[in-house]
Amino acid sequence: MDIKVLGPGCKKCEQTAKIVQETLSEAGVDAKVEKITDLMQIAGYGVMSTPSVVVDGKVTVVGKVPSKKDVLSWVKK
Amino acid sequence: MEPINEKKSCCGSDQDGLSLSKTASEGQKPLALYLAGSSILLVAWWFLYTNLLPMAEFITEVFARIAGFALQGHLGRAISFFIYETPKVLMLLTLVVFGVGIVRSFFTPERTRAILAGKRESVGNVLAALLGTVTPFCSCSAVPLFLGFVTTGVPLGVTFSFLIAAPMVNEIAVVLLYGLFGWKVAAIYTGTGLAIAMIAGWTIGRLKMEKYLEDWVFQIQAGSLGSEEEPLKWVDRIRQGGEAVRDIVGKVWPYVMLGIAVGAGIHGYVPEGFMASFMGKSAWWSVPLSVLIGIPMYSNAAGIIPIVQALLGKGAALGTVLAFMMSVIALSLPEMIILRKVLKPQLIAVFIGVVGTGILLVGYIFNFLF
């Protein structure tokens, strides 16, 4: 799995990256989690509020911190 | 006057997000339960609110007897003000934030953009300012939002109308002004704030400033979201209202209490007209000075209200104080630094100039009228 956390580096964005990383390592999923802080790239995904999460190239969360349950649901797919 | 950096450090708070995956609605209680729960809370709210004055008076009297101070003395008046105003303003804030939380669930930034794209300029400016007040927004999302708007056909001036209105006219400012200074001040603030957003945005649009956007803005191929937005269920909307209360009221209550405590102190101790000589109507230079001091300062509505209350209470003129409050909330140094990534310095200067002039006019008009 390839996960990108979009956010210019505010508190909620850090939180999002942490939750995603924690949940995935707890579930033992092999995934690449990348933080994207470059505004140009963020805009390229078409999101207008951060933090946002892109899972395997698809924008999955916009403008909120996902819960662990949300993160696990991406794994099942 | 230490600028307070609090709400603006947020980024996409819990209540204003949308989840594109389905998990959010799993294992939910039925809507009827939510409706019943909300109705019971509303009735309880109404009962408490309508009986607040006698209850506060009773508590103050008991308190005065135990602590041994005179109700009509300085301390007595300050304490009775505090005991009545604190629950009143917090209750109002809770109700309005709950309502606005539900309203906001209808206006995501994506939907607002869809409404604004392709609108004619004048109509667009009016709509953008109005939508700015109800669309969830925080300043660290300002750049992605700005790019999202401009690159998909929302005119530059219309985008600015939105960016000006969003932080300036919001439910916290309106409720606090209503609770502490009455509905007239709240209405004046809302009306003039919207007018500034509309007119300043329109002016920036007229000035044809597009060439002062950073060049890379035009190279962006803004993607659009791959999946369709799922319509929210009412259960989710009510829940978002509740989350908004937890998030916003949970964050601003210390400022509210501080504001009321300052107000209580003024109510009990400070002689009338103390500030009149510096910030009164007769001092014409006080309006531009207030705006100049306010521009680099950085605070949200909840943080600035204690200062506003102190100034008004000591005899400063309404227009001067409103101008100060607006320039603190609408224009700030950190916001300019963020926007510098997409705007060239000339456009930032025009933005500050146009909005600052609007605020200045509002200050003078209200000093003249009241």
A49 in catalytic set = no
Contact A36, A22 (CB under 8 A): no
pTM over 0.95: no
Establish if B23 belongs to a structural domain: no
A vs B, Cβ pairs < 8 A, gives 120
CA dist B131 and B116 (Å) reads: 9
pLDDT digits (tens, 9 = 90+) for B317-361: 888 988 998 898 888 888 888 888 889 999 999 999 999 999 999
- Concatenated DSSP letters of B89-109: HHHHHHHHHHHHHHHHTT--H
Q: A57: phi > 0 → left, psi -120 to 50 → alpha, else beta; which?
A: left
In whole angstroms, how large is the CA radius of gyration of chain B?
A: 22
Question: How is residue B29 annotated by DSSP?
Answer: P
Number of structural domains found in chain B: 1
pLDDT digits (tens, 9 = 90+) for B227-250: 445 677 888 888 888 888 888 888
Establish if B196 belongs to a structural domain: yes
Give the angle subtended at the CA of B296 by the CAs of B291 and B302, to the nearest 5°. 80
Contact B311, B275 (CB under 8 A): yes
For residue B11, list chain A residues with Cβ-Cβ distance below 8 A: 7-8, 10-13, 50-51
Establish if B48 belongs to a structural domain: no
pLDDT digits (tens, 9 = 90+) for B179-215: 878 898 899 999 999 999 999 999 999 998 888 888 8
CB nearest A42 (choices: B9, B144, B221): B144
- Residues in B lying within 8 Å of A, measured between beta carbons: 9-14, 16-24, 26, 108-110, 113, 136-138, 140-141, 143-145, 147-149, 151, 216, 220-227, 341-342
- pLDDT at residue B114, rounded to an integer: 84
Q: How many residues does chain B have?
A: 370
Contact B305, B259 (CB under 8 A): yes
* Residue-number span of the structural domain to which B298 is assigned: 107-217+253-369
pLDDT digits (tens, 9 = 90+) for A19-75: 888 888 888 888 888 888 887 778 778 777 778 888 888 888 887 788 888 888 887
Question: How is residue A13 annotated by DSSP?
Answer: H
Domains in chain A and their CATH numbers?
Answer: 2-71 (3.40.30.10)
- pLDDT at residue B10, rounded to an integer: 42
- pLDDT at residue A37, rounded to an integer: 83
With cut-offs at 50, 70 and 90, classify the pLDDT of residue B160. Answer: very high
Phi and psi at residue B325, in whole multiples of 5°?
-60, -45
CA dist B26 and A72 (Å) reads: 13
Which residues, in sequence order, are CB contacts of B319 under 8 Å at separation 6+? B281, B287, B362, B363, B364, B365, B366, B367, B368, B369, B370
